[in-house]
Structure formats: C-alpha cells, structure tokens
Structure 1
C-alpha cells in the first residue's frame, strides 16, 4: 500500500508535536514505519468554509509540489471529518528555533538563503505566491531547509485567498497598503529573512503594528555589517529586495546569479549535518507565532 492511499486512521500517533488554534500536529508512524508529522485540523476549521478551504489548499499543494526545499505532503484528505495531511517529518524543528540561538555563521546563512531562494523561484514559476514567508514556516533537518504552510498562498485557481496575509515583521509595504501579493512581495519577505539569517536581527522593528508598518513603509534597511565580508554586488542585491517600490525590487533570478557568481553555496546538501552549530532543537514544541 502506498503512502498516498493511507487514511488518517492508518497512522499510529506517537507524540504531540504542536497544538495551535487551527490544528494539532503529531509525530506519527505509517504502517511501513515511516515517521510523519500528522496535521489534524480542528473541528471548527473543518466546519468553517474559509478555514476548511485553507486547509484543503495546504493538502493539495504540499502533495502536488515537488521540490527539495518545499515541505512534502505524503498523504492527505482535504475535507470532512477525516481530513488530515501527513507531512514529511523534519526532526530539527523550524528556522525560528535555530535563529533564537543567535546569529548563524556566514556559510550556513548563505546556504539557507539559497535553498529558500530556489524554493520561491520554483513556486513563482508555477504561478504561486507563498504570502507567508517567515522562519516559523521554514522546517529544518540538519542544514536542509524546507518551506511549508501553503494555506494562504495565492494560486491561479485561488487568486484572492485573503486581502492581507503574513506576519507584519516580514510583510512587504504594498501589502500593508492593501495591494494584492505578487512574487515581488515574496521577494521582500525573503529580503527581511536574509537580513535575519546574516545578522540574527530583523531589519525593521516597531513596538506596535502601526510603528512596524511605518518602518516598512518609510525606513531604509540598516547596513549589513562589514565583518560579514560580503561581495558589494550581493549586498546591493539583498538591499534591493527591500526596495519600497515592488517594480524596482531585486528579481530573485538576479539574486540567484549573484550568489552563484561569487559564492560556493549548496542548494541541497546531500548529507545534512545533524543539528547545525551543535545545538539541540526543541523542534515543533517550541514553535511560536512571529
């Protein structure tokens, strides 16, 4: 029996990994022994039309998209009482967990940036805008990163899932202004994340939603530290991701060429190192909204 044909009840629950407002996530085991992260939507999600559609989209996209840096769905049912999605299990939690330990070394930061860049180029090439790029939606296995959580993505079949989606810390200026998300909006979010990967800090802060919005709309990003010793062209590209005008923002293909031209980076490490930097991750149990 293939994994894709399994039902929710075919999985043996082993450990509660996360408990959120919309779903519970368990470490579970398939009949063939495969470990999965089994995501079960709450009853109120299954019974709410909009929330049910979000979960169904996550099931469809995670099972339909094939890329080494997108979280893969192994089995699922989009609607109804038995709705679920079995996702590949990423034992080292989220990028959020890793970043809370402090700044990454430059090589690891650039590798992770490259992996997420490749995932976004793949999505955009298929007419999909993720809309919610943030460390809590990046799942880790050693030094391999995979972008997940596709429930609020804009697709050709679902072009208007939400008027506004995403974390305010990573949201593009045009989204604050009520405009629809585009690939350029994802590029901006990746730019925020690039700063965080390289420095351990986000480029924009605010002690209220309004203050944070004003920072995204009006403030220039801080300079990347000289001690990172980044090539000036790469610094220019990363800062260009955070251009306020989406029409003038760095294109992801340009960033890819610059990274490939000046650095040896590994988009998909063949042998991921367990727990980069020697830290033990608490994984899904420590996931928090950002």
Structure 2
C-alpha cells in the first residue's frame, strides 16, 4: 500500500514489493546453522564504512547541517535499528550536528507507594539507582533537546488532537515545564502543540518492582527502534543492522516502512563486526500455517 502511492515503473514496483513480501513470509534466502539469511540487493547496500554511524547518517540525512531546520526534510526520514543502544548512539550524534542551543531535562524518579514492598525498596532502590534505568516506552532520566529536533510521543496525551503514542513532532520552543512542538505525522500535521511533563510507570516485566518517572513523554526520533516504527510511512529509511534482528517479522517491518526502493539503504554487519551483504531474518512459518 505504501509503494502504490509512488511514481515508479510498474515492473520495479512489483519486483520490490514481491521481495519485501518474500522476506516477510520467509521465502527468500538460506539457512546457516539454523539462522535464516536474506541476501541484500547491491543497490540497497552501504558497502564502505569506516565510521558506521557517519555512513548511515550520511545516507539517510544528506546535507543535514544545512537543512537541519527544514521541517519537510525531517518529516519523511528516519534511521531504524533493532536495539535502544544503537538508536541512542545515532540520536546523540544527530543532536550534536544540530547547531541550535541545547537544553537538558532531568526526571524525578521514585518507587511507587502502592508497591507491597515499598518500605523495603525505598532504602535499596535510591533515586540515583532509578535514574539509571532505561526501558522501552518510558523516557530516559536525562533528555537533551534542541529546537528543530524531531521527537516521538511515548504516551497518548489527547487522541482528538492527534497526540497519540508514536506521533512524531518537531521541537519549536523549549520551556522549563512545557515543550512546544509541531506535529509531523497524522491528521494534525503542522499543528503546534504543548507537551507537559507526565508521570510514567514502566510496564517492562523484566523490572521486578514498580517505580514512577516524571518526565516529558517523548524521545528523540532521528533514529528509532524497528518495533517503534510500526505505523510510520517514510520516503527515506536507513536500516542499521550492527546487531541482527531478533523477533518474528522484525526485518519485514523495517523494510516495509519505506515508500520507494530508492529511499532504502541498509548497513549490515556479521558476527565478526564486518560489513556483510546478508541480513538475519526471523520468521516462524507455523504462524502462517492456519491462515486461509
């Protein structure tokens, strides 16, 4: 559906869409030691890279320094990666390239009073320890922002105004308690909105206790995790596979965010840290067996 809105030849469109569907169904590539490998076409591959972050940024955001304040330029571009660590490294690099003054915001963290073990935990899990926790769906303790930086909402704020989890915005003004931003996606594109600090509680099952973090419910989105990119339509996508995908359909989700073949570039590494022309694919074919 994303590809059908582009002005490219029907043969090229069909070949690219068939390739993406074959990746999604696990019908392409070979198995090595039980691991599925998908060959990456040469025109999609980034072959040379002394600095991998520079290479993927230069491919996805060419001439960024001169166009970092261009809303239209930032609106349809993003770098996708499997893990939060890779995403944060790219976002920090991109924020550094933006020449506008920066402002940092720190969260207020505390153990939830409703937790049955609250009295014991409050002495063990100090605010300093809680500040170090990073997990999906919750802002980091420290957020550094600049005017012109694209961000993504991590919570539903006001659905009628289009402020939902996954909505992308661009920062237009930085206050102490409220951030002003312009909507980049959805039905409210161009609308200016105000983002307040909110109390967030992680739902990550790996954390054996409940705590609250009061922080802006946003994260910088020059780069985003593949899982968080679901629902996005982008004209330029850089897929950064320094580590392989690890869940069912993850590679398909990443490849299918782009609206044209020429807008997709992939930088993949093997287990030895060398650039490769293959990408790991995870598809559980039994999921499709009962589909009619």
So what's the TM-score if we normalise by structure 1? 0.27
Determine which structure has the larger helix proportion and give its number: 1
Compare the two structures and name the one with the higher strand fraction.
Answer: 2
